[in-house]
Each structure stands twice: as C-alpha cells, then as structure tokens.
Amino acid sequence: MKESQVLMGMPIVAEILDPEAVPEALKKVFSYFRHVDEKFSVYKSGSEITRINQGKIAGPELSEEMKEVFALAQNTKEQTDGYFDIRTPGGFYDPSGLVKGWAIRNAARILRKDGFKNFYVDAGGDIQFFGKNQENKKWSAGIKNPFDSQEIVKIVYLSTEGIATSGTYIRGQHIYNPRNPDRPISEIVSLTVIGPDVYEADRFATAAFAMGRRGINFLESFPGLEGYLIDRQGIATMTSGFEQYTNINHA
Amino acid sequence: MKKLFLSLTLILGFLVYIFLAAPAPQAPAVSDNKRQPSDLPPENQPPEQNSSANSNSSRNSVVQKPLQKYKDGAYIGDVADAYYGNVQVKAVIQGGQIISVQFLQYPSDRRTSIQINSEAMPILKTEAIQAQSAKVDIVSGATQTSGAFQESLGSALAQAKN
C-alpha cells in the first residue's frame, strides 16, 4: 500500500508491504507530516517557527516539540563544530535541515508502533527503511545522478538504515558554510549519507555538505556514518565503510 | 586531551621522519663532514717546493664541500587545514639537523564528541560516477521543487487512472 502527497514543500511517499496494511495507517503518517509542516514551515505565516522569528514567542512559550528540535539542533551544532546551524546568515531560524529527518523518523516510529515490519517513508529523497522489500530482500536505493535526474549512479542495499542526500543541484544554494556564508559551495554537488536512521543521516548530510569537500573526511571519522560525495567534475569519493552497502549480501 | 596528545605526537613524529630519514645521497654528507678535516692539509705543514703559492687553495677547492639537504635557519610552514582546526609548525635547522619544532597553531580543545581513529586516516576511494541500469525500489536525491514534482506527479497519476 503506497501513498504520495506534497507536504513541507516536497513529495512525501510512504509504502507499507505488510498485508495487514490499511489506508488508515498511511493517513496517520501524512496527518503527522501535515502537523509538522504547520508548526515548522518558515513559509507559513501562522507557524510556530514564523512566530518565533517574528519575536512573538520565545523560550518557555515554545511547544515541547519545538524545544526538542532546538535542543537537537544545538547538539548537532556542537557535534559538527558549528557547520550545522539552524540560524541562517539572515539571522532567522530555519530548522528544516533537521526537521525533515526527524519527522521521517517519527513517522516511521508511528508505523512501527502500529506493528508494521516492512515499509519505507521517503520525504524529498531522504528515506527511512524497515524490513525487506517485495522480493524479501534488502531495500535497494539508487543515488540520483546530480547531472541527470533520470539516471542513478550508485545502488545501495539497506534494511533499517536511513539515507539522506544533500545537494544544491535542484534548489540552488540553500546550504551555507557558516564560516563563510557569502561563498557558494560549488566544488561539490551531492553528498549522500547512510546512517543508523534517517534523522542521523539527514542532519549530518546537511552539516557535511556545508564543509565542502572535507565533508567526506568528517563522515569518515564519525563512527556509524558512511558517505558518497560527488563533485562538480562527476568524481565520487566514498568513506571506507560505504562500499559494503553496495553488496546486497552485506551483514 | 589524550587524543590531541596522540595527534600531536604523530605530527611531530612525521616531521622528525621527514627531516631525519636520510635518503642515500645524504649519507656521504654525514661521513664527509667527518672526513673533511683530514682532507685538508695540516695548517703547519710547509708548502711543497714545486707548487705555486695558490696550490693549497686549489687543492682545497678540489675537495667539494657536500651540500646539506637543508639550509640552516628558522622556517615557518604553511598552515595546514585538518578539518577540526589548523596546524602550523616552525622548524629550526642547524648543521643540517632539525634542532627544534614549535607549534605556532594547533587545533584547540574540541567540545565535540567526534571520534578520530588513532591510526592515520585512510585514503578514501574515488571513482567517476557511472549510470546504473538496474532497477531499484527507490531513489535518493536532493529535494525536488514542489512545482516540478506536482507537474510530474500529476501526469503520472493521470496515466495511472483506470
């Protein structure tokens, strides 16, 4: 059972393979994403994040979910030496680099709680997997060619991991190097991260991309994360543990 | 702090290796230094009768002073960018030997929990990207704009209609 909707400014797809899947299960997932969108969208005039950015609410007035996201953002900022920062060069807060993976992970947890064992949740190309695919094998994910969206350039096989791809080839410069926000990140075009779940993959994909070419070295040094970076010449660099994922029979 | 100490020890060890590990051509320089005094004629020996006044100096110039690989002096290296901070050293050479290495810049204590392998970081594998023809369950790529997606989804759904 599969459903797609455009929410949070991106296509969201959820597919459950378990035979017990019912439409209500997927409705729950999409209603959760709608809730996240209402609260965290910087494009919505009534959202909580917009009211924060307008100075209308602050500190203890924040909702529990907002406080959680801000705390996670602070944690991520410290872990990435400031390369991940929800505060934009313009001074406003935009937590979307973290909220996306966080929301997908939460949506997947809703499905897990409802007892489903084989599914994925995909929001804008960041995906949380669980269990096995239609052929009872690991889920296969293709990494899109940043130079040709009709092609894939790498295939990885995942089970409970999350995968996230950061890139500037679609939306242009929306990721900043906090140390040099005026200089566009141009030498790399795509960075895919595989992590223990999509929340980890997503936040580090954003942070590592902001580091430019060295992002792949950052990922190499971080246990539990693997990466595949593509530069503007079409040369890919991978972390030393990445290649195992290209083997369908890996542990 | 332990990790920082280990990293600095490795950097220092690496520098020591560079400056002291003598490739073959340099070996004669060391022994020549020792040999040199005996090549020169003793100061108090009377010049040979049938040689000109300049003979001693011309004999001296035949014995070539071996080139030191490194000139004496103090040298400041480029700032090297380890991703967690900068490293810069100043090396002092005397008698062709390194006598001191000083850190001008080194990564300050990090508050992060990033773990660094205690061994040297491996060289990462690179490849030219290649289109894959196999089918996959799903594709991961940078986020598409909603406008383009809606257009595409709209036409796909139109085709999917019974």
Q: With a CB-CB cutoff of 8 Å, which residues 143-182 of chain A face chain B?
A: 143-146, 148-149, 151-155, 163-171
**Residue B119, token pair as written in the block:** 């061994």
Q: With a CB-CB cutoff of 8 Å, which residues 99-128 of chain A face chain B?
A: 120, 122, 124-127
Q: How far is B77 from chain A (nearest CA, A)?
A: 21
Residue A5 phi, psi dihedral angles, 5° rounding: -145, 155
Q: List the single best residue of A2, A143, A145, A152 to mutate versus B (max B Cβ within 10 A).
A: A152
- In terms of Cβ atoms closer than 10 Å to its own Cβ (0-12, 13-18, 19+), residue A123 is buried
Q: What is the predicted pLDDT for the residue at B68? A: 67
Angle of CA points A16, A22, A28, to nearest 5°:
80
Cross-chain residue pair A170–B113, CB shorter than 8 Å? no
Which chain B residue is nearest to residue A164, measuring alpha carbons?
B140
Residue type, A32: Y
pLDDT at B1 over 80: no
**Residue A251: count of CB within 10 angstroms of its CB:** 4
Which residues of A are less than 8 Å from B112 in CB distance? 78-81
Q: Comparing A245 with B70, which gets the higher pLDDT?
A: A245
* C-alpha to C-alpha distance for B120 and A124, rounded to whole angstroms: 36
Residue type, A99: V
The segments of chain A whose pLDDT lies below 50 read none
Residue of B121, B128, B140 with shortest CB distance to A192: B140
Nearest to A10 by CA among A117, A121, A119: A121
| Range B51-70 average pLDDT | 52
**Residue B56: count of CB within 10 angstroms of its CB:** 16
- Residues whose CB is less than 8 angstroms from the CB of residue A173 and which lie 6 or more positions away in sequence, other chains included: A184, A185
* C-alpha to C-alpha distance for A219 and A212, rounded to whole angstroms: 12
Q: Is the pTM of this model over 0.80?
A: no
Cross-chain residue pair A141–B125, CB shorter than 8 Å? no
The Cα-based distances of A170 to A122, A146, A174, A198, B162 in angstroms read 17, 9, 10, 20, 32
What confidence category does residue B23 fall into, taking pLDDT thresholds of 50, 70 and 90? Answer: low
Angle of CA points A126, A132, A137, to nearest 5°:
110
What confidence category does residue B159 fall into, taking pLDDT thresholds of 50, 70 and 90? Answer: low
What is the longest distance spanned by two Cα atoms in chain B? 119
- Residues whose CB is less than 8 angstroms from the CB of residue A187 and which lie 6 or more positions away in sequence, other chains included: A212, A213, A231, A232
Q: With a CB-CB cutoff of 8 Å, which residues 9-38 of chain A face chain B?
A: 9-11, 13
Q: Is the ipTM of this complex over 0.85?
A: yes
Which chain B residue is nearest to residue A6, measuring alpha carbons?
B146
Which chain B residue is nearest to residue A241, measuring alpha carbons?
B124
Residue B148 phi, psi dihedral angles, 5° rounding: -65, -40
Contact B146, A172 (CB under 8 A): no
Which residues of B are less than 8 Å from A140 in CB distance? 134-138
Residue type, B58: S
**Residue A85, token pair as written in the block:** 């920062």
- Residues whose CB is less than 8 angstroms from the CB of residue A172 and which lie 6 or more positions away in sequence, other chains included: none
**Mean pLDDT across chain B:** 63
Please state whether beta strands A139-145 and B138-140 pair in parallel, antiparallel, or not at all (unpaired): parallel
For residue range A105-147, what is the model confidence (pLDDT) as tens digits?
Answer: 999 999 999 999 999 999 999 999 999 999 999 999 999 999 9
Q: What is the predicted pLDDT for the residue at B70? A: 76
Q: How far is A251 from chain B (nearest CA, A)?
A: 20
Element (H, E) at B97: strand B97-105
What confidence category does residue B96 fall into, taking pLDDT thresholds of 50, 70 and 90? Answer: confident
* C-alpha to C-alpha distance for B96 and B93, rounded to whole angstroms: 6
Nearest to A249 by CA among A134, A143, A137, A135: A137
**Residue A216, token pair as written in the block:** 């792949």
Residue of B128, B134, B145 with shortest CB distance to A170: B145
Residue A75 phi, psi dihedral angles, 5° rounding: -60, -45
- Cβ-Cβ pairs closer than 8 A, A with B, add up to 153
Q: What is the predicted pLDDT for the residue at B39? A: 41
Angle of CA points A154, B134, A240, to nearest 5°:
25
Q: Comparing A198 with B142, which gets the higher pLDDT?
A: A198
What value does the CA radius of gyration of chain A take, rounded to a whole number of Å? 18
Cross-chain residue pair B136–A236, CB shorter than 8 Å? no
**Mean pLDDT across chain A:** 93
Q: What is the predicted pLDDT for the residue at B66? A: 61
Task: Report CA torsion sign: A203, A139, A168, B86.
Answer: positive
Which residues of A are less than 8 Å from B145 in CB distance? 9, 170-171
Which region among A19-28, A158-167, B96-105, B129-138 has the lowest average model confidence (pLDDT)?
Answer: B96-105
pLDDT at B161 over 80: no
Q: How far is B18 from chain A (nearest CA, A)?
A: 24
Q: Comparing A139 with B22, which gets the higher pLDDT?
A: A139
Which residues of A are less than 8 Å from B142 in CB distance? 125, 144, 146, 165-171, 190
Residue type, B18: I
